[in-house]
Amino acid sequence: MRPKSVCVYCGSRPGADPAYLKDAETMGQALALEGWRLVYGAGDVGLMGAVARSAQQAGAETFGVIPKHLVDWEVGKTDLTSYVITETMHERKKVMFMNCDAVVVLAGGAGSLDELFEVLTWRQLGLHEKPVFLVNTNGYWDPLIALLLHVTRQGFADESLHKYYTVVPDASAARAALRRVLSNRKDAAE
Query: pTM for this one?
Result: 0.95
188: number of CA atoms within 13 Å, CB side? 15
**Looking at this protein, which amino acid is placed at residue 121?**
T
Q: What residues are paired with 84 via a beta bridge? A: 65
Domain positions in the chain: 5-181
pLDDT band (50, 70, 90) for residue 186: low
Q: Which residues contact 39 (CB under 8 A, 6 or more apart)?
A: 5, 6, 7, 8, 63, 64, 65, 96, 99, 100
Hey, how many other C-beta atoms are within 10 angstroms of the C-beta on 98? 11
At residue 189, does pLDDT exceed 50? no
At residue 190, does pLDDT exceed 60? no
Residue-by-residue DSSP string for the chain: -PPPEEEEE--SS--SSHHHHHHHHHHHHHHHHHTPEEEE--B-SHHHHHHHHHHHHTT--EEEEEEGGGTTTTTB-TTSSEEEEESSHHHHHHHHHHT-SEEEE-S--HHHHHHHHHHHHHHHTTS----EEEE-GGGTTHHHHHHHHHHHHTTSS-GGGGGS-EEESSHHHHHHHHHHHHHTSPPTT-
pLDDT band (50, 70, 90) for residue 35: very high
According to CATH, what is the number of the domain 5-181? 3.40.50.450
pLDDT of residue 73: 86
pLDDT digits (tens, 9 = 90+) for 133-184: 999 999 999 999 999 999 999 999 999 999 999 999 999 999 999 999 998 7
Q: Which residues contact 79 (CB under 8 A, 6 or more apart)?
A: 56
CA–CA dist 125, 147 (Å, integer): 20
Q: Look over the chain and give the mean of its residue pLDDT values, rounded to a whole number.
A: 95
At residue 87, does pLDDT exceed 60? yes
CA neighbor of 102 nearest in space, from 45, 12, 183, 47: 183
pLDDT digits (tens, 9 = 90+) for 37-74: 999 999 999 999 999 999 999 999 999 999 999 999 88
